[in-house]
């Protein structure tokens, strides 16, 4: 039998290998731009024609190359960046495989002009389909210009499968964004068919983000910053209201290299849980710095996934860090009280700042159950007061003694008085430094209760309030099962329920922190909420239960509130970790700024 195994000609082998690295015009833009970064450039200009199908030209002012190096650069596995396998563990350049230029030269018509420091003349090399066509001296600026024409001219099948210019250019922009975000210290420009698309001046990360995504993104950015010995985290996350339903502004970088990291992505989205609806994706620009020896970037040439040694720990740190930033933003923004009535806001994450315990004061004329009969007003006030204090203590144990002292002077009305006003028995308003703060009363209470219930579910549980008479409720079989499934968690938040035969339950006690006494209604709402959210896997049982309970027992619209009640709600709300949004992502707080007010009176 004749030998049938033949060695492929070099040119074919090169084309096949090239296909791995160069899949579309955007891959060329990526490789050439990264080479510019690796060469220590401070300016990189990218010019593209017809979405890169006709021309991609990248000019940098970096190190340039000597004549022999310029020639060698096009050899496969020619790289100046690593010399031994050991170097793979301390990579701080973009490229290191030495494949990009060889691959590009295999599938396009390439011209390179380069000059290094100290050389009088530069080198010009023309190479097409891996064949050197010419090498000459030339006069050119310091640095390197690479022009790549007619990509895939020699692989018609490949060229045919390129997508529309719009799509291919979108890919180019995406690569350009990743590299320019990783290196805000470098000036980048991008031109397409003669039109300047980006002109990014050197600056910090925030300026670079604004340069790419426009001025309006600026006020939607919240900074993230955490320093640990495993990892340091820097950058920005988007405010919840700037999140969208599509991907696009999610960027992770490690050691100034863009990476995809689905697992860390989950850490970020997890931090937004219960302030964003499940189908909305927050934007983020997060820069990680890790010891190069603790990460593995040596996988597939075009893959941007990176492995970390301590992935689980970093996940936790990242998630906590994003959460902390969200919390800080939620409280700090422009709510800043004027004059004597100034309130100290608890700023989470700043350990040297201990919040003041809210003053517990009760309006003696308020009777929340005027129309209902189970409780006397006094017992309610008493309970309300105790609960508020213990809630506060749980949140800020350091303040325990002071709030205990406070409880002895219960009915003293606090000084100085802040001014609250209820609008339409629906909104609570209060003047603040930057304008007029408005709180949706029901949503605000929902957030307070939610965090309260979550506390209970995560700790030893909460006190149960015994019902005067056991309440018996007949349920449908389905509903009965729904309830039974969560029975342990129900118990933990303070429900005392007997599950009888024939789907009948008897409620002997209910959570003392819930505002509502209509047990039947609470149970029904609870079941409904649970049924409607039970298909959503992103929320845990505890979160669902806490959200359902909060929704079932929050004060309704239409309920008049006294000044003291508004104040108490206000204080509890702003001691929450995320006071701006309900567990389902609805806005709770809004500020009408002085500017907006001024405009109305122009």
**Binding residues for ligand ADP (CB under 6 A):** 31, 35-36, 38-39, 60, 62-65, 73, 78-81, 95-102, 144
Q: How far is Cα 89 from Cα 91, in angstroms, rounded to an integer?
A: 6
CB of 59 to Mg ion, least distance (A): 16
Sign of CA dihedral 225, 175, 279, 243: positive
CB of 331 to ligand ADP, least distance (A): 46
Options 31-39, 152-160, 270-278, 521-529: segment touching Mg ion (CB under 5 A): 31-39
Q: Which is nearer to ligand ADP, 85 or 157 (CB)?
A: 85
Residue 586 partner contact from Mg ion, ligand ADP, none using kind-dependent CB cut-offs of 5 to 8 Å: none
Q: Which is nearer to Mg ion, 22 or 507 (CB)?
A: 22
Q: Quick one: which of 548, 526, 519 has its CA closest to 479?
A: 526
CB of 75 to ligand ADP, least distance (A): 8
Q: At what angle do helices 165-182 and 205-213 cross, to 10 degrees?
A: 170
Q: Which is nearer to ligand ADP, 255 or 434 (CB)?
A: 255
Residue 507 partner contact from ligand ADP, Mg ion, none using kind-dependent CB cut-offs of 5 to 8 Å: none
Q: Which is nearer to ligand ADP, 102 or 200 (CB)?
A: 102
Residue 547 partner contact from ligand ADP, Mg ion, none using kind-dependent CB cut-offs of 5 to 8 Å: none
Q: Quick one: which of 391, 532, 372 has its CA closest to 454?
A: 391
Q: How far is Cα 288 from Cα 234, in angstroms, rounded to an integer?
A: 6
Q: How far is Cα 368 from Cα 365, in angstroms, rounded to an integer?
A: 10
Instruction: Let me know: does 475 contact 506? Beta carbons within 8 Å.
Output: no
Q: Is 127 in the site for Mg ion (CB under 5 A)?
A: no
Q: How far is Cα 104 from Cα 74, in angstroms, rounded to an integer?
A: 9
CB of 119 to ligand ADP, least distance (A): 13
Helix/strand/coil (H/E/C) assignment for every residue in 70-126: HHHCCCCCCCCCCCCHHHHHHCCCCCCCCCHHHHHHHHCEEEEEEECCCCCCEEEEE
Q: Which is nearer to Mg ion, 55 or 100 (CB)?
A: 100
Q: Which is nearer to Mg ion, 114 or 577 (CB)?
A: 114
CB of 21 to ligand ADP, least distance (A): 9
Instruction: Let me know: does 277 contact 245? Beta carbons within 8 Å.
Output: no
CB of 39 to ligand ADP, least distance (A): 3
Q: How far is Cα 457 from Cα 120, in angstroms, rounded to an integer?
A: 74
Q: Which is nearer to ligand ADP, 101 or 243 (CB)?
A: 101
CB of 15 to ligand ADP, least distance (A): 16
- Classify 4 as helix, strand or coil: coil
Residue nearest to ligand ADP (CB): 95
Phi, psi of 3 (to 5 degrees): -65, 130
Of 413-452, binders to Mg ion (CB under 5 A) are: none
Count CB neighbours of 460 within 10 A.
Answer: 6
Q: Which of 25, 52, 62, 95 binds Mg ion (CB under 5 A)?
A: 95
Q: Is 100 in the site for Mg ion (CB under 5 A)?
A: yes
Residue 81 partner contact from Mg ion, ligand ADP, none using kind-dependent CB cut-offs of 5 to 8 Å: ligand ADP
Q: Could you say which DSSP state residue 308 is in?
A: E
Options 92-100, 123-131, 163-171, 429-437: segment touching Mg ion (CB under 5 A): 92-100
Q: Which is nearer to ligand ADP, 215 or 300 (CB)?
A: 300
Q: Which is nearer to Mg ion, 33 or 321 (CB)?
A: 33
Residue 237 partner contact from Mg ion, ligand ADP, none using kind-dependent CB cut-offs of 5 to 8 Å: none
Options 88-96, 121-129, 349-357, 578-586: segment touching Mg ion (CB under 5 A): 88-96
CA 525 to chain centroid: 32
Neighbouring residues of 88: CB distance < 8 A, sequence distance ≥ 6: 82, 96, 298
Q: How many residues bind Mg ion (CB under 5 A)?
A: 3
Residue 368 partner contact from ligand ADP, Mg ion, none using kind-dependent CB cut-offs of 5 to 8 Å: none
Residue 144 partner contact from ligand ADP, Mg ion, none using kind-dependent CB cut-offs of 5 to 8 Å: ligand ADP
CB of 258 to ligand ADP, least distance (A): 15
- Classify 19 as helix, strand or coil: helix
Instruction: Let me know: does 252 contact 286? Beta carbons within 8 Å.
Output: yes
Q: Which is nearer to ligand ADP, 62 or 511 (CB)?
A: 62
Residue 83's Cβ-side half-sphere holds a number of Cα atoms within 13 Å equal to 1
Q: Which residues of 130-142 are buried (b: 16+ CB within 10 A; e: fewer)?
A: beeeeeeeeebeb
Instruction: Let me know: does 429 contact 436? Beta carbons within 8 Å.
Output: yes
CB of 67 to ligand ADP, least distance (A): 13
Q: Which is nearer to Mg ion, 37 or 573 (CB)?
A: 37
Q: Which is nearer to ligand ADP, 141 or 461 (CB)?
A: 141
- Classify 192 as helix, strand or coil: strand
Q: Which of 14, 15, 27, 35 binds Mg ion (CB under 5 A)?
A: 35
Count CB neighbours of 378 within 10 A.
Answer: 10
Q: Which is nearer to Mg ion, 127 or 566 (CB)?
A: 127
Options 18-26, 34-42, 168-176, 397-405: segment touching Mg ion (CB under 5 A): 34-42
CB of 27 to ligand ADP, least distance (A): 12
CB of 139 to ligand ADP, least distance (A): 18
CB of 270 to ligand ADP, least distance (A): 35
Q: Is 33 in the site for Mg ion (CB under 5 A)?
A: no
Options 91-99, 226-234, 446-454, 550-558: segment touching Mg ion (CB under 5 A): 91-99
CB of 159 to ligand ADP, least distance (A): 22
Instruction: Let me know: does 283 contact 299? Beta carbons within 8 Å.
Output: no
Residue 22 partner contact from ligand ADP, Mg ion, none using kind-dependent CB cut-offs of 5 to 8 Å: none
Across-strand partners of 430?
437
Q: Could you say which DSSP state residue 8 is in?
A: P
CB of 300 to ligand ADP, least distance (A): 14
Q: At what angle do helices 100-107 and 25-38 cross, to 10 degrees?
A: 140
Q: Which is nearer to ligand ADP, 49 or 81 (CB)?
A: 81
Helix/strand/coil (H/E/C) assignment for every residue in 208-238: HHHHHHCHHHHHHEEEEEEECCCCEEEEEEE
Helix/strand/coil (H/E/C) assignment for every residue in 468-527: EEEEEEECCHHHHHHHHHCHHHHHHCCCEEEECCCCEEEEEEEECCCCCCCHHHHHHHHH
| Residues of the shown chain interacting with Mg ion in the complex, contacts defined by CB under 5 A | 35, 95, 100
């Amino acid at each position: 039998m004749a030998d049938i195994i033949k060695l492929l000609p070099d040119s074919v082998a090169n084309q096949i290998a090239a296909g791995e690295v160069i899949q579309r015009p955007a891959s060329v833009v990526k490789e050439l731009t990264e080479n510019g970064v690796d060469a220590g450039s401070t300016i990189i200009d990218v010019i593209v024609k017809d979405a890169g199908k006709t021309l991609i030209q990248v000019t940098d002012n970096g190190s340039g190359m000597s004549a022999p190096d310029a020639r060698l650069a096009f050899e496969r596995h020619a790289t100046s960046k690593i010399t031994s396998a050991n170097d793979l563990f301390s990579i701080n350049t973009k490229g290191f495989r030495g494949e990009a230029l060889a691959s590009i030269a295999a599938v396009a018509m390439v011209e390179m002009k380069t000059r290094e420091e100290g050389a009088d003349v530069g080198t010009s090399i023309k190479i097409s389909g891996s064949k050197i066509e010419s090498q000459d001296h030339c006069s050119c600026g310091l640095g390197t210009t690479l022009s790549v024409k007619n990509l895939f001219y020699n692989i018609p099948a490949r060229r045919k499968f390129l997508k529309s210019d719009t799509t291919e250019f979108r890919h180019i922009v995406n690569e350009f964004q990743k590299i320019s975000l990783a290196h805000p210290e470098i000036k980048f420009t991008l031109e397409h068919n003669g039109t300047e698309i980006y002109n990014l001046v050197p600056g910090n990360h925030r300026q670079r983000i604004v340069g790419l995504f426009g001025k309006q993104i600026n006020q939607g950015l919240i900074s993230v910053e955490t320093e640990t010995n495993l990892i340091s985290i820097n950058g920005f996350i988007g405010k919840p209201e700037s999140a969208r339903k599509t991907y696009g502004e999610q960027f992770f970088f490690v050691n100034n290299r863009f990476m995809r990291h689905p697992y860390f992505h989950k850490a970020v989205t997890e931090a937004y849980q219960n302030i964003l609806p499940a189908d909305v994706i927050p934007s983020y620009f997060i820069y990680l710095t890790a010891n190069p020896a603790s990460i593995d970037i040596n996988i597939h040439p075009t893959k941007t996934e990176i492995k970390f040694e301590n992935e689980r720990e970093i996940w936790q740190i990242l998630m906590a860090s994003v959460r902390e930033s969200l919390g800080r933003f939620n409280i700090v923004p422009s709510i800043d009280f004027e004059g004597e009535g100034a309130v100290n806001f608890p700023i989470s994450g700043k350990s040297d700042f201990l919040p003041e315990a809210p003053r517990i004061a009760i309006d003696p004329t308020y009777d929340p159950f005027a129309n209902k009969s189970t409780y006397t007003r006094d017992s309610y006030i008493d309970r309300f007061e105790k609960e508020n204090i213990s809630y506060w203590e749980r949140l800020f144990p350091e303040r325990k003694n002071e709030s205990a002292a406070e409880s002895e002077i219960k009915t003293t009305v606090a000084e100085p008085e802040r001014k609250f006003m209820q609008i339409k028995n629906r909104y609570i308003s209060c003047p603040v430094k930057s304008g007029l703060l408005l709180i949706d009363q029901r949503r605000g209470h929902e957030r307070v209760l939610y965090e309260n219930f979550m506390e209970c579910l995560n700790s030893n549980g909460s006190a149960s309030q015994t019902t005067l008479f056991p309440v018996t409720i007949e349920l449908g079989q389905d509903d009965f099962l729904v309830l039974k499934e969560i029975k342990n968690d129900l118990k933990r938040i303070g429900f005392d329920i007997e599950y009888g035969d024939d789907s009948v339950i008897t409620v002997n006690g209910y959570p003392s922190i819930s505002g509502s006494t209509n047990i039947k209604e609470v149970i029904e709402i609870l079941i409904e909420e649970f049924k409607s959210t039970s298909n959503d896997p992103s929320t845990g049982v505890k979160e669902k239960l806490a959200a359902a309970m909060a929704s079932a027992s929050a004060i309704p619209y239409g309920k008049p509130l006294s000044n003291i009640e508004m104040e108490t709600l206000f204080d509890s709300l702003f001691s929450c970790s995320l006071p701006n949004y309900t567990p389902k992502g609805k806005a709770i707080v809004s500020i009408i700024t002085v500017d907006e007010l001024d405009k109305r009176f122009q």
